Amino acid sequence: MLDEVYTAVATPNIALVKYWGKRNDELILPHNTSISITLDETFKTTTSVAFSGKLDRDIFFINGEEQNLDSHEVKERFKVVDEMRRMAGSAEHAVVYSVNSFPTAAGLASSASGISALVFATSKALGLDIGTSRLSIIARQGSGSACRSLMGGFVKWKKGEKDDGSDSYIEQIKGNGYWPDIVAFVAIVSEAKKKVSSRAGMKQTVETSKLYRERPNVAEEHAKELEKAIMEKDFPTLARITMEESNSMHAVMLDTFPPIIYLNDISKEIIHAVHELNSGGNIAAYTFDAGPNAVVVTTEKNKGDVYNALNSIGGIKDIVELKIGSGPRIADRQYEAEINAIIEKNR
Ligand code: PMV
């Protein structure tokens, strides 16, 4: 008999109010609330999962290649599978077959789309009937920022107050249809894997940066202001907070000892170009995560000017236009033949 395959599709999110620093490393509880937009399926992860009594170990493929289960990235993913297996009372091993439609580990949050697709598909495969806030608590323990990809539109990850993390989950501020005018350009500056992982980097920041002492208060204030700007569809304020947040996070990174520097000269040119575009009022905002690639947020009306400004910067490898996306979905069973072949080979 063939084992049932469940498939989920999920997309990255980009934080406008950033998460950088944990108050609990094990449960992945953040020092501050963060707010993101989930992106559309231009970049996506498609993950198929099957649980099988025929296997004596878990097997994980990314982009057609079998992964080492001892590697850090794979471990963090299987943490969420283990947790859900426990919840479902299942002892069966899993085959996970995951395909990314974009460069992995290039600061484009493939871990966010990967982990949220995995959590979504696994919950269906195990027949777990749990809501999104509970799913986000599980996803958060794989990778913090990943939990925000479990909903579409504008998403808030609440920092929570409790030691057990039960109040640190996501909520949708507004869905993807709310502000259709918003456009996000991803400017790909480098496809190289980041040198300092965000996990190690943020830990060092919390431990060594004196500037960081103020960072959670700044971010919390920004989260409140941004939520209000979203509710009022006030783009200039959204743009200002987005840029201030990116700058604030990269400031505490630089204040880390030894310093963590993700931005390069092209990133800095993008920053200057956006401020030039904004000389008559904010029409665009840049934001950078743990890498040199930029996401530049603007609106339909101004996207031509923003694209042209980015396009005139030498060294940008690609500019991809995206909209706000609707969040993860269950898809038809995909990679069924591949998964069954893997089970047959390993039984
Ligand atoms: O990938 P994580 O969950 O370890 O954290 C990355 C955090 C940033 O992408 C740098 C900022 C954010 O809030 O997404």
Domains of the chain: 6-346 (3.30.230.10)
22 lines ligand 1 (CB under 6 A): no
Task: Quote the tokens at residue 209.
Answer: 């940066």
111 lines ligand 1 (CB under 6 A): yes
C-alpha to C-alpha distance for 252 and 29, rounded to whole angstroms? 19
Confidence at residue 297, expressed as pLDDT on a 0 to 100 scale: 98
Confidence at residue 340, expressed as pLDDT on a 0 to 100 scale: 94
Q: Confirm if 135 and 144 have CB atoms less than 8 A apart.
A: no
The mean pLDDT value of the chain amounts to: 94
Please tell me what DSSP assigns to residue 149.
Answer: G
335 lines ligand 1 (CB under 6 A): no
pLDDT, tens digit, 9 for 90 and up, residues 123-173: 999 999 999 999 999 999 999 999 999 999 999 999 999 999 999 999 999
* Model pTM score: 0.96
CA of 113 to the centre of ligand 1 (A): 12
CA of 314 to the centre of ligand 1 (A): 27
144 lines ligand 1 (CB under 6 A): yes
Confidence at residue 1, expressed as pLDDT on a 0 to 100 scale: 45
Q: Which residue has the tokens 């020092």?
A: 31
CA of 209 to the centre of ligand 1 (A): 18
**50: pLDDT strictly greater than 90:** yes
Neighbouring-strand partners of residue 66: 61
Q: What angle do CA 233, 296, 184 make, to 5 degrees?
A: 65
Neighbouring-strand partners of residue 24: 29
Nearest to 49 by CA among 113, 117, 111, 96: 96
33 lines ligand 1 (CB under 6 A): no
pLDDT, tens digit, 9 for 90 and up, residues 7-26: 999 999 999 999 999 999 99
